[in-house]
Structures are given as structure tokens and as C-alpha cells.
Structure 1
């Protein structure tokens, strides 16, 4: 039986059928799940959501007697898991989360290592050798662990890749984004690790594209684009010859350019014919591609890119629910974004907040009123300590800000 109740009446053991309000207002990807612990309950109570719909046939009723204690709580959890109502229970490895500052240096080292290893992989493929794909499993695990410790560090650093490094670091960035999205979707540890590996290897087929086409600054001819469209199948064939047996890795490599409306390539799949993993790969691939500097264009700002992708999702390019989950990974204002606050100050986004996608942690450093730099200050938006809020994103070039990346990484001249 479904009941609509105020959020204040939600208790442990209730099954949330749906959350009443915009998906932007609540801190969860899933809208149907069991409230199993106090951390989840507190997160719901502290969110803007004011009403929920519970399913009393799948969880505790609002009139049920209170739990007697921890033993009853654990018994309830066990019963719910046995009934299949806990699909994501203990789905992720226990990895301690750390601050952005703590993870940045480690993420920079992983990027440097990954750049070397992926460049060797592509050179092997261009020479026609059988690639050593198994060699990348430890690297995939390193990428996954970094993202689970702090997703913003590796994902945001990878976005700062130089034009000449795009081919190699794009693979690393997509691996990191796939990891974060897998975690957001509640996939198992094994699936999360495979997602990281799929991201690292998804574009291997580009090694079969002549460099003059791959790096062409102008518009491709129809014949040249046909060669580009052949890269997913070429990559999958390379991975099969290398002995890769992961269905996820092979599928993401082959189908990450498919679109929900059937206009993608190489097979023109549509809707449910595209696997969850390929849908994930499509979103992660496009986001990194359009936010990165390329030989033929400058990358778009992260917030602007998400707006473009939201439009493309409505037009049938992406699965909209997968895209919404992706936004929860990177934030409405991703780390490294330049934003304008209501006070007239400019700031760079440091970290996301569990309270709301619209309330990230921001370092303000510039006054638009006096057109000058000010003493940097870190603001925890949405807390009692500050009444300021974000009113939009800004273009750093429009304000002559050349050191934006240094301001949030703390690393002078940061380029992977």
C-alpha cells in the first residue's frame, strides 16, 4: 500500500516508493529504496524534500511500533535483504573518503602513470601488435580507488589535459567518470572495477585512425568520418585478440557512440537495445570530450557542458536517468568551475555538498564590483556561516583570470 507522508515521519525500515519534488532537490540517485541507516535518514531529513511516498507492503508502516534497539534493527535489515529489497547493501568496498586537498597529489601521480601506460598501449596498437590489456587491471583499480576516496580530484585534474595529451588522458578521464557513475548507480565492486577498465580501454580503436584525421583541425570529409566511425569495432576486435573476456569492457568499447534515438554508430542501436554500461560510457565519453581542449577547439566550461548535454538528453542522445545520475556525480557546478555569487564575488568550486547540488564549497577570490582580486576565502554555501549563493557560472577569460586551475588545485601551472 502506498502512503504519502511528511518527511519528518520517515523512519528506519521504511521503503521509499518515490520522493516528492525535483530530483535536483534530493541527495539520492535512486528514488525507490529502503531506509537502512541513520546516515541515509539524516540526509533525507536535511534535504529540501518535504514529502515522500512509502510502500508499506515492502517496508515499515508509519504506524509500526518503534524499533526496540540495535538487535531489532539488524534483524529488520537481514529480513529486508533476504526479501530482495536491499539491492545495493554492502555493494561498494570500504574505502575511506578523504578531502580534495588530500587526494589531489595522489591523483596527479596516478594521472602521470596512466598517461605513460595508455600511450604505450596506443603505440602497440598502431604497430599492429596484440595489446596487453590485462596489464591495465591494476591501473583501473588505482583509478577506481582514487575516485572512491574523492571523485573530484582525479576527474577534475584529468579535465585539465593539454591538447597533445587528449587521446591518452581522455581514456583515463572516462575511466574515472565511469567509476564515479557506477558508484552513484550502486553497482557492485566487481562492476565498478570493470567500469573503470572499460573507460580506460573504450577508445583503443582510435589507434587505427590515421593521425592526420584524428588531429584534423577542420571539418572531416564524409570518407574521413567513415574511418572515425569504424573505431569502436576496431577497438573491440583488438580487445578480443588481446583475450579480454569482460562483456562490459567489450560492450562499452563497441557501443559508447550509440544514441537512445538510434542515430548513433556503429550498429544504430536504440532504447533498451543499448546496455546500461554502454549508456554510461556514452555520457562519460561526451562530457570529457566537450570539456577538454582539442586541436580544433577549446573545451567548454563544465557547467555550460552540462546544460548542452541536458538538451541533448531531451533530444534522444542519452538515457535521461543515466544523465541525471551523472550530474549528481560531477555536480551542477563541477569542481574547477568559475561561479558568480549573489554578493558580486567570483569563486572557484572546490567540492560538492551532500546537502544540495546547488550548494558546493567555493573559494571566493575576486570582486566584480571593484574588478580586483580579494583575499581568498572558502565558503560552505547553505550553512549558517554564509548567506551567499551562486547565481550563475562565468567565463574566466571574460575576467582575465588565467590562474583559475591553480586556485583550486594549489598546484602552480597544473597540467597533467
Structure 2
């Protein structure tokens, strides 16, 4: 049936489109309120399938005995007005990944030095220099405005021994990009970036043998690590002159949307928007980075796994993160319909399923081929992505050399 004919009480069985062509992370559910209804109608999806055994039928009338779920028909005029457009649109990328990489690499180097010094001062018990943070946030923001993929890609490539410091830089960049994707104004976006930069400062109060332990933590060690949000919050509170949002993200970035997180077991809207953003960004960077106790997951597979963790994240925020980093983030290994394997080397705004791919291997012949960049979004290009692939299964260990 046409999307515009959907009404409250219907059970959506499926959407006419791929898994990211609609604003929901599940394909089967009951339309329960005007917000869900508005999101379906504004999604751009042409049609849906409904299951009349689980919800209202097309012909059912409000209050009729045949209606499995009694719900009034909601005329278009009664639907809540669509959300206002973002106050600040997502910046149009002004250069390619290749053009921004050199500047981003220098910024990463400066950022690592600045954050290492900042955190070491915190470990020594000295006051945190908040004023020194904002120029770094500004530089990161400007790099992302030129091309977000370059800095986000480089920030993901960190060594195990520098994880704690570079993780904060990466989360800062992710928070800035995500804030813009969600339509937050520039002042709020900078607050989000600052919060991301400082969210893990409490780890400087953790014993080094626990923080850098290469194996699994004992229950006692895990209890120590779980105290880092509260310890960090106390540090930032003592520093003064910080936005409340930075304190809040530091304290609550391990809360989960279903209330099973810590330290406050907050749930849903009781968790601030920036803390919900912090939770998503913190996890994404953690699982895509090499850690003392585990190897990184590839970016595309990480998003797929996160999508399956029911109750962990605000799905609207998670959906925005996918749009921020791309369904196939920079460095993802993909198989094309032509049978070629390639690495995603550039992302084009608004074209989540058609990135630029550098092909280099024939899956059919299991042999290297002449490298070629294929812009899947260009008219006349008939190839398309069939699947993401696990580099380990193909024996590829240097895929990041293709784009950096």
C-alpha cells in the first residue's frame, strides 16, 4: 500500500526499500503514535506491506469490531508538523579525502600531543586546562567541515599503546560530525566536541595496570573501571568553567537507552541528547580500534553489530551516526556485483550506498587485478555493492594503505 495511506494501528510488515531507506531500525512493528506515523510518511519510501492479522486493515474503520487494534484514523492535518529543518545544515564537503588527508594527519599529530599532556596533568592531580581544549576542538571542527571522512578515518587508526588519548580525539570528531548531522547549531556542536574530548578523563584516575591490562578484567578490576565516569565528573567539576553538557556526557556516556547502563541506570529521554550521542560515538570508536586486549572490528561490520544490540542506543541517534560515517565507512572491504573486491576510499554526502571504491582483486579468480577507482554514484556506472567482506577471511591486512 502507498506510504501516505498508513495510519495509526497498522502493523508494518516490511518497507519497499533497503534497510536504510526508512527511519526505523526494525522492519516489523505497530504504528503506535503520530510521531511514528509522521516519520513513515516523511521517509521517502514509496510503499509498505502491512499484516492485517496483527493490526488495522486498509478498509477498517475506527471503532469497528473487525479492527484488531482500535485506533482513530488520523487525517494529514492532524499529524504533528514535521520537524523543522536543521538550524545549521551539514556542511558541504569542500575537498576530497585525498586533499584533506595531509592536513588531517598533521592535526592528528598535534591533537595527540595536546591530549596526552592534558591527561597526564590530570593523572598528576593538576587542574585541567580547559581553555587549551577549545582551539583543538575548533581545528578538528574545521577539518571535518572540509572533509569529515579524512579525519574520522585517520582517528580510527590508533596503536594500542595510544588508545586512551587518541580515543578522546576520535570521539570529539565523531561528536562534532554527529551534532551537525542531527542539525544542532554550531555552538551546540562545539559543546558536543568538547564533551567528546573530555568524556574519558576519569580513566586518568584508574590504576595503569588495570587500564592497560592486555587480558580480561576480574570482577574487582571491572568495578574499578566502572568508576571512571564519576571520577572524571569530579575532575571536570573541580576544573570549573565547563559547560554543563561536558560534565553530563562525562558522567553518563555509559548509560544505555533501556536503563541497563551505569552509573545512574538512566533510560530513554532521561539521558540527555549529548550523553546519548556520547554513548554511540564512544562504542563505535572503541570497537573499530585496536585495544590492549582485542583487535579492531572493521567499520562496516561494527555498524552492523551495533544495530543488533537492542536497547543499547537511541535509534534516532544511531541512525544519524550511520549517516555520518557511511554504511560503508572509509576503509571498508566490499564485493561488487562484477565480482571485484575493493576498498572504500571516499564517501560522497547523501550517497550512502554508492561510495568511491578502489578495486584491486577478483573474487572469481582469487587474483590481483589492475587497481581502478570506481565512483558508484556516477551515471552510467552499472556496478554496485553486493556485500561487505571480512578482510581476515581474504588474508588482507593492509587495506588502510589504499586510502591514506
* TM-score, shorter chain, exceeding 0.5: yes
Q: Which runs of 5+ in 2 are unaligned?
A: 6-14, 25-34, 49-73
Which of 360, 365, 386 is equivalent to 2:360?
Answer: 365
Which of 13, 21, 24 is equivalent to 2:20?
Answer: 24
Aligned CA distance change for structure 1 residues 355 and 126 (closer, same or farther; 3 Å): closer
Are 1:240 and 2:237 an aligned pair? Answer: yes
Contact 2:156 2:285 in 1 (8 A): yes
1 CA distance for matches of 2:259 and 2:23?
A: 32
- Partner residue in 1 for 2:373: 378
User: How does 1:128-277 map onto structure 2 within 5 Å?
Assistant: 128-277=125-274
Contact 1:26 1:356 in 2 (8 A): no
Cα deviation per residue 1:38-75 (whole Å; 9 max; x = unaligned)?
Answer: xxxxxx9xx9744799967999xxxxxxxxxxxxxxxx
2 CA distance for matches of 1:155 and 1:27?
A: 24
- Partner residue in 1 for 2:86: 88
- Partner residue in 2 for 1:78: none
User: How does 1:55-70 map onto structure 2 within 5 Å?
Assistant: none
- Partner residue in 2 for 1:289: 286
Aligned CA distance change for structure 1 residues 308 and 242 (closer, same or farther; 3 Å): same
1 CA distance for matches of 2:164 and 2:375?
A: 36
Shift of 1:273: 0.9
Q: Which runs of 5+ in 1 are unaligned?
A: 6-18, 34-43, 60-82, 410-416
Q: TM-score, normalised by structure 2?
A: 0.80
2 CA distance for matches of 1:141 and 1:26?
A: 33
Higher deviation after alignment, 275-284 or 326-335? 326-335
Structure with larger RCO (C-alpha < 8 A, sep 6+):
1
Aligned CA distance change for structure 1 residues 245 and 92 (closer, same or farther; 3 Å): farther
- Partner residue in 1 for 2:335: 340
2 CA distance for matches of 1:208 and 1:26?
A: 43
- Partner residue in 2 for 1:38: none
- Look up the SS of the partner of 2:113 in the other structure: helix
Contact 1:340 1:392 in 2 (8 A): yes
Aligned residues: 356
Contact 2:391 2:397 in 1 (8 A): yes
- Look up the SS of the partner of 1:340 in the other structure: strand
Shift of 1:220: 1.2
Contact 2:200 2:229 in 1 (8 A): yes
Aligned CA distance change for structure 1 residues 294 and 353 (closer, same or farther; 3 Å): same
Q: TM-score, normalised by structure 1?
A: 0.78
